[in-house]
Amino acid sequence: MAKPAETRTAGRKSAPKAPAPKATRSAAETEKIRAALAARRDELRAEYDQTLSEITELQRDRLTDSAGDDQADTGTKTFEREQEISLANSILERITQVERALERVDEGSYGWCERCGNPIPVERLAAFPSATLCVSCKQLEERR
């Protein structure tokens, strides 16, 4: 016969485990990560500046070469301009992600999932350094 204390706890699930305490990186590792993220941010800013100058130049060319355009030509130019602006916005979004990753490095929360608190695998951070979610949480987010 089971003891009364055992029968009360047998049907209950155990409480969820708290996230493991965050291990600290060495100052050298943190600095290496910060330098890599800063270099990536600078590359993206240069790419963004280059893209903006190309868009400006193309806009100038389109304005001078619009005589005799029909509706299809105008539509094509509008479509191309929207694609160029979309590309520039995409680069700007990546810059924002890298800057946010740099902030997380400074706060000491870089490499930890913002949703569940578990560590983000090193392989994921190597492929996508500004990742904020672990693989499991990212998969759940993408299913929604």
In the numeric block, which tokens belong to residue 129?
């350094």
Instruction: Give yes or no for residue 17 having a pLDDT over 50.
Output: no
More confident residue, 14 or 94: 94
> How much is the average pLDDT of 11-29?
53
Taking only the tens place, the pLDDT of each residue in 28-87 is 888 899 999 999 999 999 999 999 999 888 888 777 766 666 777 777 778 888 899 999
Beta-carbon contacts of residue 111 (< 8 Å; ≥ 6 apart): 25, 119, 120, 125
The whole-model pTM stands at 0.70
Taking the C-alpha atoms of residue 35 and residue 124, their distance in angstroms, rounded to an integer, is 18
Dihedral of alpha carbons 131, 134, 121, 123, sign:
negative
Q: Which two tokens stand for residue 7?
A: 């029968």
What one-character-per-residue DSSP string does 70-113 give? -HHHHHHHHHHHHHHHHHHHHHHHHHHHHHHHHHHHHHT-TTB-
- Tell me which of 21 and 118 has the higher pLDDT: 118
Greater confidence (62 vs 107) lies with 107
- Strand-pairing partners, residue 119, are 112
Are 86 and 49 spatial neighbours (Cβ–Cβ below 8 Å)? no
